[in-house]
């Protein structure tokens, strides 16, 4: 799962993230538990995924929102679809802003 050694902060964040989509944890809850800002937690999670190949997904379901360790293909898909939808929406915004006359 890991490519290189995790920093102390990365380890602290990773240990807070549950396995499986059933009990995801919110970034603000991780932040409170380990004394980081929410923005810092999100940056650490991004690094864990990109730099260390740790399969962390984000659930965006009413009542079950938050981060979790992906344990199977169904969970991987549930984490990827919202990200792809966000990309499409952001690209539409960029396209529109580029065309708006100022």
Q: Which of 7, 3, 18, 8 is nearest to 59 (CA)?
A: 18
Q: pTM to 2 decimals? A: 0.86
Count of domains forming the chain: 1
CATH number at 48 reads 1.10.10.10
The yes-or-no verdict on residue 20 having pLDDT over 80 is: yes
Please provide the average confidence, as pLDDT, over all residues in the chain.
94
Residue 2, in any domain of the structure: no
C-alpha distances (whole Å) from 49 to each of 44, 62, 63, 100 are 9, 24, 24, 36
- Domain assignment of residue 34, given as a range: 8-99
Q: What span, in angstroms and rounded, lies between the C-alpha atoms of 79 and 102?
A: 37
Residue-level pLDDT at 3 = 55
Residue 73, in any domain of the structure: yes
Residue 3, in any domain of the structure: no
């Amino acid at each position: 799962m890991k490519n290189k050694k995790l920093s102390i902060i990365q380890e602290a964040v990773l240990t807070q993230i549950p396995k499986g989509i059933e009990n995801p944890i919110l970034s603000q809850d991780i932040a409170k538990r380990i004394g980081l800002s929410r923005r810092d937690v999100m940056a650490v999670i991004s690094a864990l995924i990109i730099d260390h190949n740790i399969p962390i997904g984000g659930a965006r379901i009413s009542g079950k929102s938050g981060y979790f360790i992906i344990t199977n293909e169904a969970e991987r898909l549930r984490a990827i679809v919202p990200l792809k939808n966000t990309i499409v929406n952001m690209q539409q915004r960029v396209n529109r802003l580029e065309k708006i006359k100022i």
